[in-house]
């Protein structure tokens, strides 16, 4: 965990990764109608008293959407926030349903890949299960 916090963020690498899938991901983000109809398809949303933070669209917008919005120029604090969204608030079960056909799991999975490239990921073997995020 200490190593994770020490390493500087390689924003160039993040930008490269974002650009590689820009065509697909930016279209997905752009075509999201912000209708919230994906909410009920997420079991974490229904199990957390319908807390909007667990909506699939919220998670995609505030993780990958944020990375694109900031064009990869993010600090460790932002990546840490995104880490919570893409690992704690989403288990990538793939059950989220978007009426427009946006494939939300691929967006979350891509955000996870970007975070992993910066060594930002939960290290379950090193910390207690209660505080792994």
Partner 1 sequence: MYDFIRGPLISIAFVIFILGLILQLVQFFKLTQKKEWVYPPLEVKSEKKTVGQWIAFCLTSLNGTLWKTDPLVTIVTSVFHVFLIVVPIFLLGHNILLDQSWGLSLWSLPELITDFLTLVILICVAFFLGRRLFLSRVRVITTAYDYVILLIAAAPFLTGYLAYHQWFNYDTVMTLHILTGEVMLMTIPFTKLGHMLFFFLYRFLIGNEYSFAKGARAW
Shortest separation between residue 117's beta carbon and partner 1, angstroms = 20
Q: Which is nearer to partner 1, 96 or 120 (CB)?
A: 96
Q: Where along the sequence are the contacts to partner 1 (CB under 8 A)?
A: 23-24, 27, 30-37, 39-41, 50, 52-53, 55, 57-58, 61, 97-103, 106
- 20/71 with CB nearer partner 1: 20
| Shortest CB 63 distance to partner 1, Å | 13
DSSP 9: P
Q: Closer CB to partner 1, residue 47 or residue 126?
A: 47
Give min distance, CB of 101 to partner 1, in A. 3
Q: Which is nearer to partner 1, 8 or 23 (CB)?
A: 23
Q: 49 to each of 18, 40, 55, 87, how far by Cα in Å?
A: 33, 11, 11, 19
Name the residue among 47, 53, 55, 59 with its Cα closest to residue 107. 59
- Joined together, the tokens standing for residue 99 give 């009426």
Residue 9 · residue 74 · CB < 8 Å: yes
- The number of angstroms, rounded, from the C-alpha of 12 to the middle of its chain's C-alpha atoms is 19
Q: At closest approach, how far in Å is the CB of 68 from partner 1?
A: 14
């Amino acid at each position: 965990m200490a190593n994770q916090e020490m390493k500087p963020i390689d924003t160039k690498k993040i930008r490269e990764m974002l650009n590689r899938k820009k065509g697909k991901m930016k279209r997905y983000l752009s075509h999201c109608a912000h209708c919230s109809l994906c909410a009920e398809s997420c079991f974490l949303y229904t199990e957390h008293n319908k807390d909007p933070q667990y909506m699939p669209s919220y998670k995609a917008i505030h993780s990958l959407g944020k990375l694109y919005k900031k064009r990869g120029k993010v600090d460790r604090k932002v990546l840490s926030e995104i880490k919570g969204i893409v690992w704690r608030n989403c288990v990538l079960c793939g059950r989220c349903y978007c009426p427009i056909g946006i494939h939300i799991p691929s967006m979350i999975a891509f955000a996870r890949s970007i975070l992993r490239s910066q060594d930002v990921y939960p290290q379950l073997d090193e910390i207690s299960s209660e505080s792994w995020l």
